[in-house]
Amino acid sequence: MPRRTMIEAIRDAMDVSMGRDERVIVFGEDVGFFGGVFRCTQGLQAKYGKSRCFDTPISEAGIVGSAIGMAAYGLKPCVEVQFADYVYPAYDQIVSEAARLRYRSNGDFTCPIVVRMPTGGGIFGGQTHSQSPEALFTHVSGLKVVVPSNPHDAKGLLIAAIEDPDPVIFLEPKRLYNGPFDGHHERPVTPWSKHELGEVADGHYTVPLGKAVIRRPGAAVTVLAYGTMVYVAQAAAEETGIDAEIIDLRTLLPLDLETIVDSVNRTGRCVIVHEATLTSGFGAELSALVQENCFYHLEAPVVRVAGWDTPYPHAQEWDYFPGPARLGRALVETMEA
């Protein structure tokens, strides 16, 4: 199979979906002629025309609001918010309209939209280009929330999201766009073959929403991660020599609780890692679920490793991120508890 970067895999997913279904349209800021700020939509306008891939004004509320109206009348918009940090003007549209349309109309209308957003730090983008707002969406009933960690999953999950009858928030870790992040270094490394995750099949395939995958089997402790943190977890396990089982959640909502519970019940320990700030982050929900479902199997308290509870620090970006050293210390302390 050909190897692709995550950017190429995401572009291929939209290309395949647009080719299979004329109802699929792509739009957002600079996604048409320019091909998107990260070039995820490059070439789609030339191939499918300006009526199916087009640029919009700088108005996130307008982008998402228009997508909701189009979806209610039979189209399947896949829209791009240029950075996850820019989604807040559209939050009301997502929460009050997209997430509730099926329920509010008693099933007469659905909202099959995908909102794609580059998320997380690692590009020295500072406070306005580096946020990880996934917990703001996992709190909302009626949404699905997806965070891929590699090109194969990115393509399959995005196609599945486009084909889903309900709204999907699709968060794309920027640090993984152009190559794998091995967890030890600031910059991506090549090729993807290091983890054999860069092979992306041609044509149509899907990765099911709501299904996690075990990236590294282990017996000592379960590590719950998603996106970039999957590679940080792998690096921490390698550096400490701890027999950690690493679960890549892939879909945060709906969550594959069965895989999590099965793993924690076997290992008796659980460490959760995410890039977003600690307080009220998605790790808090994961911790509560593990506590509720695995209490009698736990040999130590559930531990969370996350970003600082501060506005995003540009000058200290690589200290803010949970790295392998910080996660490694948490693994060691958990094993000694």
Residue with token string 């090109």: 151
Please check whether residues 232 and 188 belong to one and the same domain: no
Asked if residue 202 is part of any domain, the answer here is no
- Examine the pLDDT at 59 and tell me if it is beyond 80: yes
Asked if residue 108 is part of any domain, the answer here is yes
Asked if residue 208 is part of any domain, the answer here is no
Please check whether residues 173 and 302 belong to one and the same domain: no
Question: How many whole angstroms separate alpha carbon 172 and alpha carbon 183?
Answer: 17
Please check whether residues 250 and 281 belong to one and the same domain: yes
Question: How many whole angstroms separate alpha carbon 69 and alpha carbon 85?
Answer: 23
Least confidently predicted of 57-66, 67-76, 194-203, 235-244: 194-203
Asked if residue 164 is part of any domain, the answer here is yes
**Pick from 135, 164, 194: which residue ends a domain?**
194
Which pLDDT value is given to residue 184?
A: 56
Q: What CA–CA distances, in Å, run from 274 to 204, 244, 332?
A: 31, 16, 18
Phi, psi of 229 (to 5 degrees): -65, -15
136, 183 in Cβ contact below 8 A?
no
Asked if residue 201 is part of any domain, the answer here is no
Q: Is 28 left (phi over 0), alpha (psi -120 to 50) or beta?
A: left
Please check whether residues 222 and 134 belong to one and the same domain: no
Asked if residue 313 is part of any domain, the answer here is yes
* pLDDT confidence bin for 182, thresholds 50/70/90: low
CATH of the domain at 143: 3.40.50.970
Please check whether residues 25 and 172 belong to one and the same domain: yes
* pLDDT confidence bin for 232, thresholds 50/70/90: very high
- Examine the pLDDT at 112 and tell me if it is beyond 90: yes
Rg of the chain over Cα atoms, rounded to whole angstroms, equals 19
* 124-160 per-position pLDDT tens digit: 777 888 899 999 999 999 999 999 999 999 999 999 9
Asked if residue 203 is part of any domain, the answer here is no
SS3 291: helix
Please check whether residues 37 and 163 belong to one and the same domain: yes
271, 330 in Cβ contact below 8 A?
yes
Q: Which domain holds residue 136?
A: 6-194
Please check whether residues 187 and 237 belong to one and the same domain: no
Question: How many whole angstroms separate alpha carbon 271 and alpha carbon 263?
Answer: 12
SS3 275: strand
186, 122 in Cβ contact below 8 A?
yes
- Residue numbers annotated as active site: 129
Residue 235: enclosing H or E segment and its boundaries?
A: helix 229-240
Please check whether residues 53 and 190 belong to one and the same domain: yes
* pLDDT confidence bin for 314, thresholds 50/70/90: confident
- Bridge partner residues of 135 (DSSP): none
Query: Could you tell me the two tokens for 225?
Result: 């991660």
Question: How many whole angstroms separate alpha carbon 143 and alpha carbon 257?
Answer: 17
CATH of the domain at 218: 3.40.50.920
Question: How many whole angstroms separate alpha carbon 159 and alpha carbon 161?
Answer: 5
Asked if residue 105 is part of any domain, the answer here is yes
Listed as own residue / partner, the contacts of 284-289 with beta carbons closer than 8 Å and 24 or more positions apart are 285/135, 285/138, 286/224, 286/260, 289/255, 289/257, 289/260
Please check whether residues 31 and 171 belong to one and the same domain: yes
Phi, psi of 110 (to 5 degrees): -125, 175
- Examine the pLDDT at 196 and tell me if it is beyond 80: no
Q: Output the pTM of the full model.
A: 0.94
The total domain count for the chain is 2
Please check whether residues 316 and 227 belong to one and the same domain: yes
**Pick from 161, 194, 227: which residue ends a domain?**
194
Please check whether residues 131 and 166 belong to one and the same domain: yes
Instruction: State the angle between helix axes of 324-336 and 229-240 in degrees (0 to 180), rounded to the nearest 10.
Output: 60
Please check whether residues 297 and 234 belong to one and the same domain: yes
Q: Which of 186, 190, 200, 234 is nearest to 214 (CA)?
A: 234
How would you classify the pairing of strands 251-253 and 144-146? antiparallel
274, 225 in Cβ contact below 8 A?
yes
Q: Tell me the residue length of the chain.
A: 337
- Rounded average pLDDT over 271-294: 97
**Pick from 126, 160, 194: which residue ends a domain?**
194
Query: Could you tell me the two tokens for 102?
Result: 């099926």
